[in-house]
Amino acid sequence: MARSSSGKSVARAAATGGGTTYRGQMPVNWYAALVIIVIVGVASIALAKYNYNKVPAVVEPTVGTSWHAGLAFDICGTMEAAIPASPSSASGLTTSGSGVLLVEPKSSSEAGNNATLGKFADGYTGLTLTNTKLKYPSTKVPEYSNGEKCAAGTPDAGKVGIVQARSWVISTTTSKNHEEEETGGATTTKPADLKFANRQLITTGFVPEGTAMPKPPASTILALQQVLAGGAAPVATTTTTAAGVTTTTAAGVTTTTAAGVTTTTAPPVTTTTKPSGTTTTK
């Protein structure tokens, strides 16, 4: 008996594995699922990177940090005496009175990039320090602004000056002579923006443009080194000369006052008697 035409079609379809329409159909659902997985993965990576970059890096000094620095003022060629101890402890940026600064932020307004020389000046009564103006806390020293000339009687008298600062950092290593080394020495014409660093030496002031200001005096460096070694800063002594000029010095160092008077306090004399009966005086 002959097969019908429909029976022959079914037989041919079974032999070839299905009709042409079925064999040509794409697995849309499978590809769609794959695309979704890729999109979700890329989005997850992008979100994680965004959240990572959004977390700010910690900038020292943080609240609770305890750093020390040394500060001096060079005004028209005269290295002024260290300013007196901060009258208030409300700020975390203070000075002990021997030229040593205590950088101990008490709030975020004093920490990180806010721990600057200008921030210290803002909290010290009588001291004004901006990027264009300086008023040293003494009635004998005039206020200076960028472009003004140094007063008569100063080493730089008549010269046009600007407010600037120069800084160094005392290294934690020592030289072959077992002396502490300093790195840096860069000058900035924006002293108020100068950020504090631990073990830092700073000389700021009003001097002719291009002047390479010297490091703080030996008394300030000695005081800072003593504090860094775990001791207390040397106690500064105040004396008044016959001319009425008041100076503050530490033992064994020389300082120059605003009036140009130089005073030296000699260190204690030590006498050692050797067994032979000779005497050595240091």
Whole-number average pLDDT of the chain: 79
Find the mean pLDDT for residues 192-217. Answer: 97
Res 278 pLDDT > 50:
no
For residue 54 the two structure tokens come to 């959004």
User: Out of 7-21, 80-94, 146-160, which region has the weakest mean confidence (pLDDT)?
Assistant: 7-21
What pLDDT shows up at residue 277? 42
Q: Is 256 exposed, middle or buried (0-12, 13-18, 19+ CB in 10 A)?
A: middle
**What digits encode the pLDDT tens for the residues 218-257?**
999 999 999 999 877 665 554 434 444 444 444 444 444 4
Question: Interior CA angle at 59 toward 53 and 63, to 5°?
Answer: 125
What pLDDT shows up at residue 92? 95
The strand pairing partners of 70, in sequence order, are 100, 201
How many CB atoms lie under 10 A from the CB of residue 187?
16
Confirm if 235 and 100 have CB atoms less than 8 A apart: no
The residue with greater pLDDT, 213 or 260, is 213
